Chain A
C-alpha cells in the first residue's frame, strides 16, 4: 500500500471522534430531557456540528483512499453507507434547529432527534464485523511505530475536538444571551 496507508492515521481517529461526538449529542439530549437545563442542549448542539465535521472528514479521506486502493471513489458497502447516514442525520439535526425559534421546544425536539440518531453508531462500529464488506477488517496487529503514530493522532484529534467544542459552546452561550436581549427589547 506504500504511502497511501498514511491516510489511515487521521482517517481512523476522525471517524472515532465522529462517533464520540454523536454519543455526546445523545448524552446532552438525555441530560436535557432529565433536567430541562439549556446548557445540556448547548453541549448537544455544539457536538452535533463537530460530529458532521469529523464524520465528513472521515468520509472524504476514506474516499480519497478508496480510489487508488479499490479503483472507485465510493462503494455502497455497509460501513460507508452507515457513515453517510450518520452524516446526514446530524446534518439534518443542525439544519432543523435553525427553523425552531422557541429555545425549549428546539431543545426538546433536538434531544429526541439526537438520541435516535446515535443509534446508528453501534451498528456503524459493528458493521465491518457483522457484514461482508469492502472496508478493511478491524486491526489485530500494528507495528510499534505505527501504534505510536496512531496514538499521537488520536491525542491530536481528541484535543482538536475538545478545543472546538469549547469554542462552539462559548458561541452557543452568547447566542442564547443575544436571543434573550432581543426578546426583552421586543417586549419593551
Chain B
C-alpha cells in the first residue's frame, strides 16, 4: 500500500508544482507587458 500512496502523492505534487510554476510564470509575463504599456 505504501508504494501506491507514495506514487499518488508524487503524481499530485508534480502536477500541482507544474500548475503553480505555470501560474507564476504567466503572472510575471503579464506584469512585464503591463510595465511596457505604461
Instruction: Indicate, yes or no, whether A interacts with B.
Output: yes
Residues of A within 8 Å of B37, CB to CB, are 181
Q: Mark B1-38, 1 if CB is under 8 A from A, else 0.
A: 10110111011001100110011011001101100110
Residues of B within 8 Å of A43, CB to CB, are none
Give the contact-size bracket for chain A: 20 to 34
Residues of A within 8 Å of B3, CB to CB, are 4, 7, 64-65, 67-68
**Which of A75-83, A86-94, A116-124, A165-173 forms contacts with chain B?**
A165-173
For chain B, what secondary structure do more than half of its interface residues adopt (helix, strand, loop), or is it mixed?
helix
Looking at the complex, which one of A4, A60, A167, A181 makes contact with B10 (CB distance below 8 Å)? A60
- Report the separation of the CA atoms of residues A168 and B20 in the bound assembly, to the nearest whole angstrom: 12
Expressed in whole angstroms, the minimum distance between the Cβ of A95 and any Cβ of chain B is 16
Residues of A within 8 Å of B8, CB to CB, are 6-7, 10
Q: Chain B: which residue is nearest A58 at the CB level?
A: B11
List A150-185 residues whose CB lies under 8 Å from chain B: 160, 164, 167-168, 170-171, 174-175, 177-178, 181-182, 185
Expressed in whole angstroms, the minimum distance between the Cβ of A10 and any Cβ of chain B is 6
Expressed in whole angstroms, the minimum distance between the Cβ of B8 and any Cβ of chain A is 7
